[in-house]
Amino acid sequence: MSKKKSNEFDVIVVGAGPAGATVAIKLAKAGISVGLIDKDRFPRRKPCLGWVNGNVARLLDELEVASKQLLARPIQRVAFHNGELSKSSVPTLKDSPGFLIDRTVFDERMTNAAKRAGATLIEKCEVTSLEPYESGVNVLNAKGKTYHCELLVLANGASNAFRGQVGVGRSDVGGTRYSAVVEHAVDRKSNTSADIDIILGVTPQNGLAILTRQKDKVSLALNSAGDEESIREQFIDLATRLREKEMLDDGFPINPKSVQCGVSNVGPALELDSHVGKHTLLVGDAGGFIAAVSQEGNYPAMWSAKIAAETIESAMNAESSQDALMTFDTKWRLEMGDYLRPPNTDLQLLAPLIFSNQPMTDRMANAFFLGENI
Ligand SMILES: Cc1cc2nc3c(=O)[nH]c(=O)nc-3n(C[C@H](O)[C@H](O)[C@H](O)COP(=O)(O)OP(=O)(O)OC[C@H]3O[C@@H](n4cnc5c(N)ncnc54)[C@H](O)[C@@H]3O)c2cc1C
């Protein structure tokens, strides 16, 4: 590795969430110089319900990030409900299908691991524009400073920003989805299990709500297509109905001000022509890597980032790095395509079966947590 100036890196990663941190850890471990840039300072709060797939444990092990504390709350009970809250079913689970994490702690540990691996974490640095040139990319920030890299990774979350600047075609095919979430502190000393209730078809736009219960926290999230204002309204309506059904206690805050809302999807990865721009790869939410059935983004963000890092490693040694980067599109589709894909059958049509037929309930759980087809 040649000696570089403090604003020069082999690879710059914009965004230090789970996707960006995963790329940074893997590349830094491989001896590649990495600048990991984020507009915030860590620990930072990211609106998130915090459920992660069981496969995250294996990924953390591979990244050598201590997982015991981060994944201390395995999900022990799952139930599906219909949007009217009139029908329920409980899948038979052989093992815990995932964990409930604290996103603030999780993301901070990941960025610390990136630093330990040798990456340079540049915080409070808002990237405002990208300028690809013949042999690299200039990364400009809000204070007028410019960073340089040979290859760039866009891991800036659910946003279309910068796609055009690096030559990736825009795609708004799937439309924007929002997620709204409320976390409510509780003290349930008698009950230490982590439970998850999944409510299907909450809104006419395929809305999905998840209610999690832990010993110290009850959280509710609603994910749906539509505009931010309508998601907030639908969230309040759902929370009110859950209270009436005694699935939420009276202390759970039901007012628009307590609802945190954010973009969760800017169009599915499968519908984007390419995730490769000029010297650039798109990963995580920035590339629409969200599972269609569960709207899960944390694990797909890390998975897509892992594949991107492996692609970049070979690109750094290739005669034409751009040609090597182009292999990313095929690699992630082969590995992740089935996991992210919507089911072959419309969920609305399947819904009655999910609540009347145990094998269908179990298949829905496998689709939700393992990305299997229903
Ligand atoms: C309310 C809500 C609840 C959710 N709940 C769950 C859940 O329970 N389970 C699940 O699997 N998924 C959930 N998701 C989705 C999940 O949060 C995302 O899929 C995941 O965070 C994607 O990780 P990422 O690294 O791609 O992006 P992010 O985690 O969004 O990280 C992007 C980073 O880029 C930084 N950044 C953005 N723009 C710039 C810029 N211009 N310059 C510098 N830095 C920048 C941001 O500060 C941020 O740190 C939820 C989403 C929402 C909105």
Residue 34: pLDDT over 60: yes
Cα(359) to ligand 1 centroid in Å equals 34
Boundary residue ending a domain (242, 265, 288): 265
The pLDDT assigned to 265 comes to 86
Residue 236: pLDDT over 80: yes
Task: Give the angle 153-112-162 at the CA atoms, nearest 5°.
Answer: 20
Higher-pLDDT residue of 348, 357? 357
Average pLDDT of the chain, as a whole number: 93
The pLDDT assigned to 348 comes to 77
3-state secondary structure of 179: strand
14 lines ligand 1 (CB under 6 A): yes
pLDDT interval class at 172 (50, 70, 90): low
The pLDDT assigned to 190 comes to 60
* Rounded Cα–Cα distance for residues 88 and 104 (Å): 32
Q: Which of 44, 125, 264 to mutate to test the pocket of ligand 1 (most atoms within 8 A of CB)?
A: 264
285 lines ligand 1 (CB under 6 A): yes
Domain match, 257 and 285 both: no
Domain match, 286 and 330 both: yes
pLDDT interval class at 39 (50, 70, 90): very high
Closest residue by Cα to atom 50, ligand 1, is 48
Q: What mean pLDDT do residues 169-195 have? A: 78
43 lines ligand 1 (CB under 6 A): no
Domain match, 247 and 211 both: yes
pLDDT interval class at 373 (50, 70, 90): confident
Residue 192: pLDDT over 70: no
Domain match, 197 and 249 both: yes
Closest residue by Cα to atom 35, ligand 1, is 15
- Side-chain-side CA neighbours of residue 113 (13 Å): 26
Q: Which of 13, 39, 40 to mutate to test the pocket of ligand 1 (most atoms within 8 A of CB)?
A: 39
Domain match, 286 and 336 both: yes
Q: What mean pLDDT do residues 74-100 have? A: 94
179 lines ligand 1 (CB under 6 A): yes
Q: What mean pLDDT do residues 232-245 have? A: 96
Domain match, 245 and 158 both: no
Residue 162: pLDDT over 90: yes
Domain match, 109 and 239 both: no
pLDDT interval class at 171 (50, 70, 90): low
The pLDDT assigned to 2 comes to 55
Residue 306 belongs to domain with CATH number: 3.50.50.60
Residue 1: pLDDT over 70: no
Residue 173: pLDDT over 90: no
Lowest mean pLDDT among 8-17, 72-81, 97-106, 343-352: 343-352
The pLDDT assigned to 293 comes to 92
Q: Could you list the residue range(s) of the whole structural domain that residue 246 is in?
A: 76-94+176-265
Higher-pLDDT residue of 203, 109? 109
Closest residue by Cα to atom 41, ligand 1, is 127
Give me the residues paired with residue 281 across strands: 153, 276
In a domain, 69, yes or no: no
Domain match, 39 and 128 both: yes
Of 195, 172, 175, 153, nearest to 315 by C-alpha is: 153
Q: What mean pLDDT do residues 206-229 have? A: 93
Closest residue by Cα to atom 27, ligand 1, is 157
Domain match, 318 and 255 both: no
Domain count, the chain: 2
pLDDT interval class at 188 (50, 70, 90): confident
Closest residue by Cα to atom 33, ligand 1, is 15
In a domain, 363, yes or no: no
Cα(19) to ligand 1 centroid in Å equals 9
Burial letters 70-98, b for 16+ CB under 10 A, else e: bbebebeebbbbbbebeeebebeeeebbb
Of ligand 1's listed atoms, the one at least distance from the Cα of 297 is 19
The pLDDT assigned to 275 comes to 97
50 lines ligand 1 (CB under 6 A): yes
In a domain, 357, yes or no: no
Lowest mean pLDDT among 5-14, 20-29, 179-188, 306-315: 179-188
Q: What mean pLDDT do residues 238-242 have? A: 97
Cα(28) to ligand 1 centroid in Å equals 22
Q: Which of 56, 258, 285 to mutate to test the pocket of ligand 1 (most atoms within 8 A of CB)?
A: 285
Residue 170: pLDDT over 80: no
Contacts of residue 211, defined as CB under 8 A and 6 or more positions apart, other chains included, come to 196, 197, 199, 218, 219, 220, 242, 247, 248
Higher-pLDDT residue of 135, 187? 135
* Rounded Cα–Cα distance for residues 32 and 30 (Å): 6
Q: Which two tokens stand for residue 259?
A: 């609802």
Boundary residue ending a domain (216, 242, 265): 265
The pLDDT assigned to 138 comes to 98
126 lines ligand 1 (CB under 6 A): yes
Contacts of residue 117, defined as CB under 8 A and 6 or more positions apart, other chains included, come to 24, 25, 28, 29
Of ligand 1's listed atoms, the one at least distance from the Cα of 38 is 44
The pLDDT assigned to 247 comes to 95
The pLDDT assigned to 3 comes to 64
